[in-house]
Amino acid sequence: MSRMQSIERSTNRAWLGDFLRSRRERLSPRDYGFPVMQRRRSQGLRRDEVAQLAGVSIAYYTWIEQGRDIKVSADVLNAIARALRLNEAERVHLFTLVGIEIPKGFAGDGGVHPTIAYILDHTSHAFALLYDSWFNVLRSTRLATATLGIEPGRGLESNLLHRLFADPTQRKVWVDWECEARMAVGMFRQALARQVKASDGFRLLEALLQMPEFERKWSAYDVCVNPSPDEFFREEPWSLGHADAGLLRVHRLALAIPASSDRTVVICTPADAETSLKFDRVLERSPRTERYLTPA
């Protein structure tokens, strides 16, 4: 490394801390459901809160913000960028400051159209969620979280496929559970076939195969394209079940977004006036904790 390169690297590491601090200080802890004490020392999010949202240890995030010369992966940077809600230019700048190449095909939130991103971030009465190839819910509106009982940022608890088989309450949420399970397993198999070197996908498969019902459906070798025309465009309206509101009749649209890693956006709208009123009740009774992002 030349002297000039060394100067550039040390300068960027110093700027990295300023940049990350400026971005977390502009965010409100209320937006993430964090308690706000009267004598909160720091403005915006604290380091430990960013670390929690990004799925890394507080010590590791602190070292990054301090500009220490440690190895940081693209996955960790993406998780931090999502936690801090960086836009495309800010995310590129973050990668540049750390000194690693931006992954090929990288495009913000997996190529999410700004309109969809706006729905996910700002429309309180919309039912919408974003998940990745492995069915991890990355972002979710408050209505979708309250209806499905699945919140982003909680590991396997935020995985649609794992919850489908591991959580008995999901059988009540998905009225046509058999169809949902068959479709999801088929889509998961197709995703693994496309990404045969994806360790995250195969770790999920290993966990799923511990459940006999998943193992039986996996052995049946059904395959679905993401999203499957045979399943996503079946006769509407679809039905969801909610413990308090009862039966919800919805129109459902799934949009596959090809990018550096696949993303799927699902949007549901009420199919009748009764469901619209029920959605209002679900929102009224749900806590105002909108955690859009899941760790990488």
pLDDT reading at 151 higher than 70: yes
Task: Tell me the CATH number at 204.
Answer: 3.30.450.180
Rounded CA gap, 220 and 49, in Å? 43
Task: Tell me the CATH number at 7.
Answer: 1.10.260.40
Residue 60 and residue 20 in contact, taking contact as beta carbons nearer than 8 Å = no
Which pLDDT tens digit goes with each residue over 53-100?
888 899 999 999 888 888 888 888 988 988 898 887 788 888 888 887
Question: Same domain, yes or no, for 180 and 54?
Answer: no
> What is the domain extent for residue 93?
3-98
Threshold 0.95, pTM exceeds: no
Any domain includes 294: no
Which of 94-108, 158-172, 251-265 bottoms out in mean pLDDT, i.e. has the lowest? 94-108
DSSP H or E segment with residue 268? strand 263-270
User: Which of the pair, 4 or 39, is modelled with greater confidence?
Assistant: 39
Question: Same domain, yes or no, for 203 and 80?
Answer: no
Any domain includes 105: no
Question: Same domain, yes or no, for 219 and 270?
Answer: yes
Confidence of residue 209 (pLDDT cuts 50, 70, 90): very high
Greatest pairwise CA separation for the chain in angstroms: 69
